[in-house]
Amino acid sequence: MRRILSMTFLILLTGCASVQKKDMSAFITAAPRSILVVPVVNKSLDLDAPSYALATLPIPLAEKGYYVFPVHTTKVILEQEGFYESDRIHMEDAAHLASLFGADSVLFVTINRWDAQYAFITTTVTVEINYRLVSKDNVELWNEDKKLVYSPNNSSAGHPLAMLIVAVINAAVTRAAPNYIPLVQQAHAQVFLMGPNALPEGPYTIELKK
């Protein structure tokens, strides 16, 4: 179930040591059973970023024990209601959005950074995402930021020149076609499943474990 945790590349986590446990009383009081994931706001320059992030959100939420409305169906229905732009959806009243689907809560996700930067013989891929869960009564239940940075692991024994060539090739490949999917999956897993402020187990967790 937690297969996304077994990635084979190096991930550098930023800010983990300073994360403080947040007050979850509002979440516990609301006790949401279902989550409506609305289209993602994209503040990066990568036009594909929202689609990747949106497509990978339902799995960790479902693993945590919540019913997640199908994200693509949600997008279509929102467009039928006149909501075409993610920015406008995020400004909309959460109670109104929840009422359209009969949802207990609405998850708003914003991509603040999603890029690959090349520097000499290494390429660093970064994703930075904000997650905000709001109840059907417009009460913020949970809010979390996550930043993950990935650089190819070029450390290996061998001739220095060969190692340098390998490093240059790895950097070039990563720069040409950075693989964001494992990184964004890891970000979701850390905020929803195993972080210090991970979501409490949902009502369907026991059924999933049977």
- Percent of the residues in the chain that have a pLDDT greater than 70, as a whole number: 73
Could you tell me which residues are beta bridge partners of residue 195? none
Looking at residue 15, its pLDDT comes to 42
Judge if pTM exceeds 0.85.
Answer: no
For 38, 76, 91, 163, 166, the CA distances from 73, given in Å and listed in that order, are: 10, 5, 20, 48, 44
Reported as a pLDDT band with limits 50, 70 and 90, residue 20 is confident
